[in-house]
Structure 1
Amino acid sequence: MASLHFQTQRGSEIEAVFDDLAALRIAVFRDYPYLYEGTINYEKEYLKTYAQSERSFLFAVYHEQTMVGATTCIPLRDETADIRQPFEGSDFEIDTIFYLGESILLPAFRGLGLGHRFFDEREAHARRFGTYKTTCFCAVERPENHPAKPVDYRPNDVFWIKRGYKKEPALRSTLEWPDLGEVVSTPKPMVYWMRALQP
């Protein structure tokens, strides 16, 4: 941990690290269960959503000059239509929900407590505004017998439950991206997890 340093950016400031963040997202999301065949150009286009939101937040971890971990959050209202979709027309008040984006870390830097730090930083950021009651995120669901699933794969469910999050199977959306080795995007089911934002 002594060799690591941290950096935060908000709103349009995030654009300054688009290249680093895009490269990190591609590197981490190649692994199961995302199996993401990403491109820098696609990533930078997606990340514009965060740069355009005044209340978005990035917490990044660096080893020397290299970004080795990052996490983001943004008001649900400012997210893309695909992410907002399960909440629109429901009993949820979108303007009281803060959406937690990626939580990514290169393998060599895992097991240092940074996963908890990521949640702490994002939840603290959401609390600063005094108007948000709930935080949420979504995660991809793959079939149990997926051929690319590693034998020793352990989902993050236990960690998320310890953080106070509850899986909400009724809240689902569909996102599209190309799996590894593919050039065509295919739909992926995403399920949401939520918790009340503690004061």
Structure 2
Amino acid sequence: MGAAGARVILETRPLTGAALTAALPDLARLRITVFRAFPYLYEGSEDYETSYVRAYAQSRNALVVACFDGARIVGAATAAPMEDHAAEFAVPFEARGYRLSDILYFGESVLLPEYRGRGVGHAFFDAREAHARALGRGTCAFCAVIRPPGHPARPEGYRPHDRFWEKRGYAPVDGLIAEYSWRDIGAAEQTAKPMQFWLRRLPEA
């Protein structure tokens, strides 16, 4: 919402090349802010985030889809070839015989809370799936952290995004799980978290 309470018009557009690189500091900022909430509970640092997002500038076929409120980036989603991502994510796919060169991996989708519920999530998926088709990749994948239902930080009334993802045609693959480590809020050290992969095979045109 704008300063006077007016409903702002959001613009979502894909970024590559120099525009992608220019948006990376905003992506880092959004990751620290959005992933601090449940279920990630991520205690982010600027140093780590600067290093992490740099990988998108180094991937020739990476994509950042940015959501703008005027000139301000208030949300972003990313995608890159699976082989350009962390080895921890590739290992379970290779172990099951997946061809990495057929997979476009969706790294994150982060949107400030006050802009949710306005179709931005669908726009993020639409743009990334279009990018997968443009690259000739038939499978889209992402992962989500697994937290126990009784986790003490789980907010009352919390609803996971599973139904939204299922409506988009994605499904969790039984046993296709990786581990990734980060420091939870208030924790002294990083701990490994299980990450469930969700896949969709794009229909042929």
- TM-score of the two chains, using structure 2 as the length reference: 0.91
Mark the CA change 1:62 to 1:13 in structure 2 (over 3 Å): closer, same or farther: closer
Distance 2:161 2:78 in 1: 18
Paired residue for 1:35?
Answer: 41
Shift of 1:66: 2.2
The alignment status of 1:105 with 2:82, answered yes or no, reads no
Paired residue for 1:70?
Answer: 76
Paired residue for 1:135?
Answer: 140
Q: CA contact under 8 A between 1:13 and 1:51: conserved in structure 2?
A: no
Mark the CA change 1:193 to 1:157 in structure 2 (over 3 Å): closer, same or farther: same
Deviations 1:124-180 (A, max 9, x none): 0110122x1111100000011100001110000111110110111211100001011
Query: Please, what is the CA RMSD of the aligned residues?
Result: 1.5
The equivalent position to 2:123 in structure 1, one of 117, 127, 132, is 117
Secondary structure, aligned partner of 1:91: coil
Q: CA contact under 8 A between 1:11 and 1:53: conserved in structure 2?
A: no
List aligned pairs for 1:37-186, cutoff 5 A. 37-130=43-136, 132-186=137-191
Mark the CA change 1:66 to 1:181 in structure 2 (over 3 Å): closer, same or farther: farther
Distance 1:160 1:30 in 2: 21
Paired residue for 2:196?
Answer: 191
Secondary structure, aligned partner of 1:127: helix
Report the number of matched residues. 198
Shift of 1:11: 4.9
Distance 2:164 2:11 in 1: 24
Distance 1:121 1:194 in 2: 16
In structure 1, stretches of 5+ residues that fail to align are: none
In structure 2, stretches of 5+ residues that fail to align are: 1-6
Distance 2:156 2:25 in 1: 33
Shift of 1:12: 6.0
Mark the CA change 1:178 to 1:52 in structure 2 (over 3 Å): closer, same or farther: same
Secondary structure, aligned partner of 1:118: helix
**What code does the residue aligned with 1:185 have?**
Q
Distance 1:155 1:164 in 2: 16
Distance 1:48 1:108 in 2: 27
